[in-house]
Amino acid sequence: MSIRIGFDLELHRLTLLAPAGYFVGLHIRFTSPLITFQTYDRAWIDHYTENGFVLRDPMTAWGFSSTGAIRWSDKALLDPFHLFEEAEKYGLRYGVTVACGPIMSRTIASFARGDREFRDDEIETISTIVYRLHDMSEPPEALTKAQVEALQCIAGGDRQSAAAAKLGISESALKARIVSARIRLMARTTAEAIQRAKDYRLI
């Protein structure tokens, strides 16, 4: 089973476990995740973004200061801006947040439901999946020289035929290099692979 398929299966499991949606930010570096997934209702996402809640989100602060898992209802959490009250208006009544990884590459993920608290066994399952996703999405330290050259040509605006000619290889060989780079970078498209390679400072 490919890494990409395994990734999709884990995300599907999270969807079933968090019926009111989730946010997963993998390998947060320089304040931005390298990969993000979220299934919250669009109305809540827009409300959260428009009001800059990320700067006041108690789970963001907790995730950068702690690792492990915590329910949103935990009395130890400080919520001076009443973000949880806002979330409740959008059906995110109960939640849990999981954080893992080193501070320079932290993964923070939050999960919600509207009917009840998450059970301990559910939190354990969610945590295991988040840790697995964190490990699976660890950025590669390098690409092969052939992969870098292929991506750089396409990133520079060359069509595949022109890129192949420039590199002195067949077009099918170029495509094979691009596909292998996409797999290495866990990217669905060439454009996504190029962006991730740039984000990881590989090209």
pLDDT tens, position by position, 60-96 = 999 999 999 999 999 988 899 999 999 999 999 999 9
- Side-chain-side CA neighbours of residue 22 (13 Å): 26
Cβ neighbours, 10 Å, residue 122:
15
Tell me: do 92 and 41 sit in the same domain: yes
Gap between the Cα atoms of 149 and 177, Å rounded: 9
Q: Are strands 21-29 and 106-113 parallel, antiparallel or unpaired?
A: antiparallel
Is the pTM above the cut of 0.85? no
SS3 132: helix
Final residue of a structural domain among 116, 136, 156:
136
Residues 6+ apart with CB under 8 A from 51: none
pLDDT of 5 reads 67
User: What is the token pair recorded at 84?
Assistant: 């949880």
Judgement on whether residues 103 and 8 belong to the same structural domain of the protein:
yes
Are 71 and 149 found together in one domain?
Answer: no
Domain span at residue 33 reads 3-136
